[in-house]
């Protein structure tokens, strides 16, 4: 299924250089600083239940495409809010195989074919005819010790993997991993949306739970901020090196203490309007930057997604079910309050992501090419693709260079897709560098240094790993 020269330039000179570059990074360890894998997998180290539960049901890239073609989420066994998950996993797999043609030309196709060939030795394309055979082969292998989560972690040569966790999470699975004596490095990441975004389901109760966990009085803004600091400290004690923020906009604010207290009281009353809620999120991004400046956690901002766009799907299946849609995002004016306060600091890193590609050359690369705190995150989500990665290099490098970026992260819930995602990123970077060398825009010895940096060095530095 997989040509060894895939994703390299078609022009012979650039292709040959790309191939040489790739040979130096193909087997380097995987650094996965941002993702959504379940830490319970590594704490319990139990066998994955079946191929459908491993490949289809946790992967919104897969089931959103199927849903777009009229295949119901119920038939795919996607868990519902009422707890129902009534679907025969073998039949789910057959549905996937029958409609595998839908993924032609998508990165999902590259990722899945890689997983089949490299992990299971299956070199024929998935079809309705071989679906049952593949299901049996995968099921039997998933029962073996070699396909338990920890064994796969080691087989994939993952050096470090970060999860994404609520500030209300006890982090019990991370504690269990540490106490087990296993040497795999799985770290938590502080994602405070549930106690910062007033639109988040159960927000007021979440705030109360935050106060109870930290023994802080959340009736005042000062107590609320202290509670957040305590949870950050707890995450740091278990190895966290980063925070993550998924607001709709990149808007930040820097209110005086009295105005911030009054806004917080309005939010806490449960009677705030959308404008006040957005201002509170903006204020909290600046507060989080200040805390990162103090405690050293790398801060990631992921704006630009209108979450749960499909109301019916959200009401029946909940969050993160493939209905989050990109929206235009503005950064220059939005980030100015935060950057005015912390943009010249050398004490923390602020990584910016976008779903609005038009901002790379117009806003993000110029910002990162100036402010010491700023770095550009890699193409994310809908742009985590060969074309998206190449566009990123082409639009950002001329202004921000390579060294104001942070390498690659896979941002996935689908564990077995991690090696394939990194392989795609490495191939695309080698293709870009190979073309630059062939066009005499970069010396070949420099390209070999840069590709090492893009693969491992920049990500380790940015995330303090």
Q: Is residue 248 part of a domain?
A: yes
Write down the pLDDT at residue 84.
77
pLDDT for 319: 86
105-130 per-position pLDDT tens digit: 999 999 999 999 999 999 999 999 99
Sign of CA dihedral 393, 395, 398, 399: negative
Assess whether 135 and 206 both reside in one domain: no
Report the candidate in 108, 45, 79 with the shortest Cα–Cα distance to residue 420: 108
Contact between 452 and 443 (Cβ < 8 Å):
no
Asked if 386 and 417 count as a contact pair (C-beta separation under 8 A), the reply is: no
Q: What is the CATH number of the domain that holds 139?
A: 1.10.2020.10
- pLDDT tens per residue, range 368-422: 999 999 999 999 999 999 999 999 999 999 999 999 999 999 999 899 999 999 9
Please report the sign of the dihedral spanned by the C-alpha atoms of residue 141, residue 143, residue 146, residue 147: positive
The pLDDT assigned to 329 comes to 97
Indicate if 406 and 313 belong to the same structural domain: yes
Assess if residue 4 is contained within a domain.
no
Structure-derived torsion over alpha carbons of residues 426, 429, 434, 440, reported in degrees to the nearest 10: -150
| 363 inside domain | yes
Based on the fold, state whether residues 298 and 442 are members of the same structural domain: yes
Whether residues 113 and 152 share a domain: the answer is no
Best CA proximity match to 349, nearest among 302, 303, 293: 293
Q: End of a domain among 147, 163, 182?
A: 147
* Number of compact structural domains in the chain: 2
Shared-domain flag, residues 22 and 121: no
Angstrom distances, CA of residue 382 to CA of 61, 248, 296: 9, 16, 30
> Do 393 and 403 fall into the same domain?
yes
The ranges of the chain with pLDDT < 70 are none
Residues 172 and 117 in one domain: no
Q: Is the pTM of this model over 0.75?
A: yes
* Structural domain containing residue 357: 12-45+148-462
Q: Pick from 96, 125, 147: which residue ends a domain?
A: 147
**What single string gives the DSSP state of each residue in 212-266?**
HHHT--TTSHHHHHHHHHHHHHHHHHTT--EEEE--SS-------HHHHHHHHHH
Whether 442 and 294 share a structural domain: yes
* Final residue before a domain boundary, out of 147, 168, 189: 147
- Taking residue 307's Cβ as centre, other Cβ atoms within 10 Å add up to 17
Q: Are residues 81 and 31 in the same domain?
A: no
């Amino acid at each position: 299924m997989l040509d060894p020269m895939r994703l390299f330039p078609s022009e012979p000179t650039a292709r040959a250089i790309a191939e040489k570059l790739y040979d130096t990074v193909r087997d380097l360890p995987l650094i996965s600083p941002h993702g959504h894998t379940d830490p319970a997998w590594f704490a319990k180290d139990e066998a994955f239940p079946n191929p459908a539960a491993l490949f289809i049901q946790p992967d919104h890239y897969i089931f959103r495409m199927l849903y777009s073609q009229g295949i119901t989420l119920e038939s795919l066994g996607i868990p519902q809010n009422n707890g129902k998950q009534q679907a025969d996993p073998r039949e789910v797999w057959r549905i996937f195989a029958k409609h595998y043609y839908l993924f032609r030309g998508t990165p999902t196709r590259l990722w899945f074919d890689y997983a089949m060939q490299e992990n299971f030795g299956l070199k024929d394309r998935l079809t309705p005819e071989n679906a049952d055979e593949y299901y049996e082969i995968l099921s039997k292998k998933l029962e073996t010790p070699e396909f338990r989560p920890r064994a796969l972690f080691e087989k994939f040569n993952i050096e470090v993997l970060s999860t994404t966790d609520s500030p209300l999470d006890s982090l019990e699975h991370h504690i269990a991993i540490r106490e087990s004596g296993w040497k795999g490095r799985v770290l938590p990441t502080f994602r405070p949306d549930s106690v910062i975004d007033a639109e988040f389901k159960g927000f007021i109760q979440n705030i109360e739970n935050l106060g109870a966990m930290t023994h802080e009085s959340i009736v005042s803004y000062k107590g609320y901020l202290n509670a957040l600091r305590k949870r950050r400290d707890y995450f740091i004690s278990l190895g966290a090196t980063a925070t993550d923020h998924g607001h709709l906009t990149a808007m930040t604010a820097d209110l005086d203490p009295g105005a911030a207290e009054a806004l917080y009281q309005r939010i806490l009353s449960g009677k705030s309007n959308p404008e006040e809620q957005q201002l509170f999120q903006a204020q909290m991004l600046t507060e989080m930057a200040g805390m990162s400046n103090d405690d050293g956690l790398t801060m990631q901002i992921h704006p630009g997604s209108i979450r749960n766009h499909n109301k019916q799907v959200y009401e029946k299946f909940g969050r993160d079910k493939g209905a989050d849609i990109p929206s235009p995002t503005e950064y220059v004016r939005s980030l100015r309050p935060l950057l005015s306060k912390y943009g010249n600091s050398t004490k923390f890193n602020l990584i910016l992501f976008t779903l609005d590609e038009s901002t790379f050359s117009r806003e993000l690369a110029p910002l990162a090419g100036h402010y010491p705190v700023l770095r550009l995150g890699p193409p994310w989500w809908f742009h985590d693709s060969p074309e998206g990665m190449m566009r990123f290099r082409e639009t950002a490098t001329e202004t921000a260079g390579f060294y104001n970026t942070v390498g690659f992260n896979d941002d996935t819930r689908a564990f077995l897709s991690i090696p394939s995602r990194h392989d795609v990123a490495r191939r695309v970077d080698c293709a870009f560098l190979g073309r630059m060398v062939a066009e005499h825009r970069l010396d070949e010895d420099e390209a070999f240094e840069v590709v090492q940096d893009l693969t491992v060095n920049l990500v380790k530095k940015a995330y303090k790993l």
